[in-house]
Amino acid sequence: MKGFLSRPGNALWAGVMIAALGLGYWLTQSYGDRLGLVSFLARLVHIGAAMLWIGMVWFVNFIQLAALRESDDAGRKVLMQQIVPRVALLFGIASHVVVASGGVLLLTTGYLLDRWVFPSSVYIPSARGLMLWAGVIAALVMWGLVHRVIWPNLKVILDDRANPSILAQSRERLLIASRVNLMLAVPVTFAMVAAAHLY
């Protein structure tokens, strides 16, 4: 067991297998609603990736940036080489998965192209639709900040040859984009969960 758990990937796959057993059991008891199943799986992926993305947003704002600020040059170098690129890669991928699975959910829950996906149009109360679409727009702003501001500026910061004034400008942009993402993470999560549950 100790050997098996020495790799994080093994622990992750074991968790996926346990969840798959639960899903397998559920499917033996269900009525075979395929669209419902696709919607459920998309929601599961969406929530899982959103947890990862927003978890990383919290990590960057409350741990990584504070650790970088308080470290000496040697410590900062280790953080910049070992931690920062891994964190950035993970939340970059997670953000793509959130947007892609969110797009599938828009179709399977009736917010978009409902007449194509369902036999008849889906009634969505206007407050619920407004809430969801406001959340989607804010989430796309967050996604844009990750890929248009955070990534390009991070590349500058990780480049040893960068000019000090450009480096300072990139640090400032990265900090602001990270803070905006932290701020938006709260209303986006609220809007998504409210659209699904607040009646």
List residues binding ligand HEM (CB under 6 A): 43, 46-47, 50, 53-54, 98-99, 102-103, 105-106, 109, 111, 132, 136, 139-140, 142, 185, 188-189, 192-193, 195-197
Minimum CB–partner distance for residue 141 and ligand HEM (Å): 9
> What are the Cα distances from residue 18, in Å, to 40, 81, 188?
17, 35, 30
Minimum CB–partner distance for residue 51 and ligand HEM (Å): 8
State the sign of the Cα–Cα–Cα–Cα dihedral 162, 96, 197, 138: positive
Q: 158 vs 183, which CB is nearer to ligand HEM?
A: 183
Q: 43 vs 171, which CB is nearer to ligand HEM?
A: 43
Minimum CB–partner distance for residue 24 and ligand HEM (Å): 22
Q: 20 vs 44, which CB is nearer to ligand HEM?
A: 44
Minimum CB–partner distance for residue 135 and ligand HEM (Å): 6
Q: 71 vs 189, which CB is nearer to ligand HEM?
A: 189
Minimum CB–partner distance for residue 147 and ligand HEM (Å): 13
Q: Which residue is nearest to ligand HEM (CB)?
A: 102
Minimum CB–partner distance for residue 39 and ligand HEM (Å): 8
Q: 60 vs 105, which CB is nearer to ligand HEM?
A: 105
Residue 19 backbone dihedrals phi, psi, to 5 degrees: -65, -40
- Torsion angle of C-alpha atoms 25, 26, 31, 32, degrees rounded to 10: -80
Q: 170 vs 177, which CB is nearer to ligand HEM?
A: 177
